[in-house]
Amino acid sequence: MQLEERYGLFIGGEWVEPRSGEYQPTVSPATEEPLAEVAYGGAEDVDVAVGAAREAFSNGWSSLPSSERAKYIFRIARVLQERSREFAVLESLDGGKPIRESRDVDVPLAAAHFFYYAGWADKLEYAFPNRRPQPVGVAAQIIPWNFPLLMLAWKVAPALATGNTVVLKPAETTPLTALLFCDVLRQAGLPPGVVNIVTGDGRAGAELVKHPDVDKVAFTGSTEVGKAIQRAIAGTNKKLTLELGGKAANVIFDDAALDQAVEGIVNGIYFNQGHVCCAGSRLLVQESIYEPVIAKLKRRMGTLRVGDPLDKNTDVGAINSKEQLDRIQELVAAGEAEGAEIYQPPCRLPEKGWFFAPTVFTNVAQSYRIAQEEIFGPVLSVLTFRTPEEAVEKANNTAYGLSAGIWTEKGSRILYMASRLRAGVVWGNTFNRFDPTSPFGGFKESGFGREGGLQGLEPYLDFEGKPESLGG
Amino acid sequence: MSRLDVRKTYKLYIGGAFPRSESGRTYEIEDANVARASRKDVRDAVRAARAALPEWAGMTAYNRGQVLYRIAEMMEGRRAEFAELSGGEAEVDEAVDTWIWYAGWADKLAQVIGSSNPVAGPYFNFTIPEPTGVVGIVAPEAPPLHGLVSRVAPALVGGNAVVVCASERHPLAAITLAEVLATSDVPGGVVNVLTGRKGELAPVLASHMDVNAIDLAGVEGDRAELEELAAENVKRVVRNGDGHSPWHAAAYLELKTVWHPIGV
């Protein structure tokens, strides 16, 4: 794999210089070395990209026989599988996540999403009987830096399957796999303008959201920005899906299989350095097993290897950016100041690059910032409970509602908890599982609309003569 | 000498009771002095809806369907009165039939909207709808009866509790419907009906942090400001549409996906 020195914008099937004239380096978080220069699109660039997407929508893509559309998307899935090694390395290089995770989770799941939605393209009438589904038009998609290629797949695959065209803005710190994806589109022979990639920062995203010729906005990122987007489209007819922050409770009952539960806790919060919106960042432990759980957890944390993302033995890679590292450090300091007890296993962090040791806080009160705010880092807050009712109350005591975990060997208790936890995804005796067939998305301030599954098609469709809702 | 008729005082419907507006205000409309709800009445109504939610959401779908069916039965008995307060008999028929139609959806929504998901691994995985919580509804100005029923029924059928701002120019049908609800096994607080100035009430409902979704179909003119207010707690916003669809009901439902490993 050879990186270019400098990347332009991908608009209308071609690489173009940004009209903004602006380029910024993208940096490896593990070494702080620049990898390449990337264009930062401005208002004019967004306008040209939306124009290219509109033209591609009107001149062919939306009227292509749906079975042909399906075959293009199948091709994308296959090319991604064939070039998976390249994508995995680039994802870890640019984003800092362990190569084992890029290789085993991000890239295969991205390919699977394209394969799954490809099959839907010519079956929409069966997914929505009596509703006469129609594509919406031009979809503006803004994705985060924690799963760059996978989030691209979650956005682009259903949009294309439903006959829409796309302008996608990758996150400013992780643009490279989206740019490599343009080469997949070339190999797949996708018609020009069907997918356009405009790299840049929040300014490009804001221009994209407010562009009058955009019909649908899909955003994954922080709740703060999500609210700003919802405000920005107020009064328009744009459709919107938001996949925002979370502060998931991972609830451990006294009859849980403890070793498995501890693996689930570790996977829940230290997977991808905790840069996961559905991370199990609040551990709720039943009081009677508090000591053994914490002891096992600390022991297990001591075996986590923190370091070079490109080493396949690494468990916890680099923090994505200096800005994110600052935020984690600020919240951890707040946790200590508020009176929580901090534990970090002895581990040597690399001298260069942005790293943070796996961290657990005990003696946490519900009101502490580390129990309320999304840290988006490898930091776990532990609370306790006595009864299932108390566990439900504490778990739901947050403005978020993205995910939750339950650990118990009692089946009826899993279903009791699953039906009462106000969260869009509930993992029973497992955590952080994802699949293209499985709808994902939040309750409350974690956003609305679903990605994945049959339900993930709906946000990209209009239905003739049927009610329209912002999220649906 | 002919008998002097006894007139009805039209009040609000909050938490299963019929209070006057706490503000003491009324406005004259349709030959009556109708309560003019205040900001505090909106907040009281939201509190009543939140309190009523667990019972309503926790009912079996079969039971909830029967309660909605009961509303239709009770309305049927007061057809003449409703005909006078609305566009006439045809509108009443439509409203009654709408309750019946949604009553039948109560125990079918999950089968149409939910799914079992064949994930690539040893997991059992399914998706089910759940109520979003408290739904604010700005009812259409007209038709006064069916307009309201066609917005409230789809929000109720999935297990939500509702606070509705009635038609400002034709509020009497809404308050009379509240009398039907009060005698139809609908737990108090599940539906709360406010009359008054929409321009005053809708922004309070749209900005309320304990309202989970809002239906703006009855807003005349610019809805931008209301949608901006709704963003503060990421409310689900329903903009328009003519209802009469399980997908309308789905706009007030959250989808929950549950995973569990398969093993011995």
DSSP classification of residue A61? I
Residue A347 known to be catalytic:
no
Q: How many Å is the Cα radius of gyration of chain B?
A: 19
Rounded to the nearest 10°, the torsion over CA A66, A67, A68, A74 is: 110
The residue-averaged pLDDT of A209-216 equals: 98
Give the CA distances from residue B6 to residues B9, B35, B180, in Å, rounded to whole numbers and listed in that order.
10, 18, 19
Q: Which two tokens stand for residue B176?
A: 């009379």
Helix extents (H) in A83-201: 84-95, 99-101, 107-120, 124-127, 148-161, 176-188
- Spatial separation of the C-alpha atoms in residues B214 and B239, rounded to whole Å: 9
pLDDT higher than 60, residue A465: no
Vertex A454, ends A267 and A78: CA angle to 5°? 70
- Using CA atoms, how far apart are residues A131 and A124, in angstroms rounded to an integer? 10
To the nearest whole Å, the CA of A440 is away from the closest chain B CA by 7
Chain B window 95-124: which residues touch A at a Cβ cutoff of 8 Å?
113, 115, 117-121, 123
Residue B243 vs residue A394, higher pLDDT: A394
For chain A, the C-alpha Rg in angstroms (whole number) is 22
Fold of B26-261: Aldehyde Dehydrogenase; Chain A, domain 1 (3.40.605)
Which residues neighbour B168 within 8 Å (Cβ) at sequence distance 6 or greater?
B29, B141, B195, B196, B197, B198
Q: Is A393 on the interface with B (CB under 8 A)?
A: no
Burial pattern A69-102, b for ≥16 Cβ within 10 A else e, equals bbbbbbbbbbbbbebbebbbbbbbbbbbbbbbbb
**What residue in B sits closest to A402 (Cα-Cα)?**
B256
Interface check A443 vs B, CB under 8 A: yes
Q: What is the DSSP letter of A436?
A: T
Is B210 in CB contact (< 8 Å) with chain A?
A: no
Smallest CA-to-CA distance from A380 within A434, A429, A414, A340 is with A340
β pairing state of A216-220 and A239-243: parallel
Give dist(CA A316, CA A101) in Å, integer.
Answer: 10
Residue of A214, A149, A141 whose CA lies nearest to A449: A141
Q: Is the dihedral of CA B67, B71, B74, B77 positive or negative?
A: negative
Strands of A403-407's sheet, edge to edge? A341-343, A359-362, A379-385, A282-286, A249-252, A403-407, A425-428, B253-261, B123-131, B115-116
Q: Which CATH architecture has domain A6-244+442-463?
A: 3-Layer(aba) Sandwich (3.40)
Between the CA of residue A66 and those of A57, A121, A374, A463, what are the distances in Å?
Answer: 13, 6, 41, 17
The whole-angstrom distance between A471's CA and the closest CA on chain B is 7
pLDDT confidence bin for A468, thresholds 50/70/90 = very low
Closest CA to B49 of B186, B171, B151: B186
A243 in active site: yes
Test the A interface: residue of B119, B256, B262, B264 with most A CBs within 10 Å: B256
Chain A (78-137) residues lying within 8 Å, Cβ to Cβ, of chain B: 112, 131
CA closest to A421 among chain B residues: B256
Q: Which of B115, B218, B113 is nearest to B157 (CA)?
A: B113
Residues of chain B with pLDDT under 50: 242
Contact A49, A41 (CB under 8 A): yes
Q: How far apart are CA B149 and CA A218, in angstroms?
A: 32
Q: Which residues of A132-164 are buried (b: 16+ CB within 10 A; e: fewer)?
A: ebebbbbbbbbbbbbbbbbbbbbbbbbbbbbbb
What residues of B are in contact with residue A439 (Cβ under 8 Å)?
Answer: 115, 117, 127, 255, 257
Name the strands in the sheet holding A6-7, side by side, starting at the edge strand that comes first in the sequence: A6-7, A34-39, A23-27
Nearest to A98 by CA among A294, A402, A311: A311
Phi, psi of A462, deg, nearest 5 = -105, 155
A424, amino acid identity:
G
Average pLDDT over residues A275-288: 97
Q: Nearest by CB to A445, from B132, B233, B242: name it.
A: B233
Count of C-beta atoms within a 10 Å radius of residue A255: 14
Asked if the bond preceding A175 is cis, omega within 30° of 0, the reply is: no
Q: A43-56 and A202-210 are packed helices; what angle lies between their axes, rounded to 10 degrees?
A: 50
CA angle centred on B129, ends B123 and B134, rounded to 5°: 140
C-alpha A421/C-alpha A228 separation (Å) is: 27
Q: Looking at A277, A445, A451, A458, which residue is catalytic?
A: A277
Structure tokens belonging to residue A327: 């935020």
DSSP string spanning B35-77? Answer: E---HHHHHHHHHHHHHHHHHHHHS-HHHHHHHHHHHHHHHHT
Q: Which residues of B touch A228 (CB under 8 A)?
A: 231
**Residue A470 pLDDT exceeds 80:** no
Q: Give the chain A residue whose CA is nearest to the CA of B243.
A: A467
pLDDT tens for A75-115 read: 999 999 999 999 999 999 999 999 999 999 999 999 999 99
Upper half-sphere CA count for residue A404 (Cβ side, 13 Å): 31
- B16 to chain A, minimum CA–CA distance in Å? 26
Q: Minimal Cα distance from B241: which residue of A?
A: A467
Q: What is the pLDDT of residues A311-366, one digit of tens each?
A: 999 999 999 999 999 999 999 999 999 999 999 999 999 999 999 999 999 999 99
CA dist., res. A192 & res. B20, Å (int): 64
Structure tokens belonging to residue B193 = 């009906």
CA closest to B130 among chain A residues: A419
Average pLDDT over residues A237-258: 97
Q: Which residues of A touch B58 (CB under 8 A)?
A: none
Angstrom distances, CA of residue A65 to CA of A18, A69, A160, A196, B149: 34, 7, 13, 21, 41
Other Cβ atoms within 10 Å of B210 Cβ, number? 12
Nearest to residue B253, comparing CAs of A450, A218, A221?
A: A450
pLDDT of residue A129: 86
Question: What is the fold of A249-428?
Answer: Aldehyde Dehydrogenase; Chain A, domain 2 (3.40.309)
pLDDT at B241: 59
pLDDT the model gives residue B92: 98
Structure tokens at A299: 């022991």
A361 interfacial to chain B (CB closer than 8 Å): no
The model's confidence at residue A207, banded by pLDDT at 50, 70 and 90, is very high
What pLDDT, on the 0 to 100 scale, is given for residue B239?
86
Residue ranges in B77-126 assigned as alpha helix (H): 79-85, 89-105, 109-113
Residue boundaries of the structural domains of chain A:
6-244+442-463, 249-428
Those residues whose C-beta lies under 8 Å from the C-beta of residue A443, and which sit 6 or more positions away, are: A401, A402, A422, A423, A424, B132, B254, B256
Cα separation of A36 and A5, whole Å? 5
User: Do residues A182 and A11 lie in contact, with contact meaning Cβ atoms separated by under 8 Å?
Assistant: no
What mean pLDDT do residues A9-22 have?
A: 98
pLDDT above 50 for A237:
yes
Nearest to B257 among A234, A440, A470 (CB): A440
- B206 close to A433: Cβ distance less than 8 angstroms: no
- List strand residue ranges (DSSP E) for A212-317, in order: 216-220, 239-243, 249-252, 282-286
How far is it, in rounded angstroms, from Cα A41 to Cα A23? 9
Helix axes A388-395, A411-420, angle to 10 degrees: 30
Q: How far is A287 from chain B (nearest CA, A)?
A: 24
In angstroms, what separates the C-alpha of A464 from chain B's closest C-alpha?
10
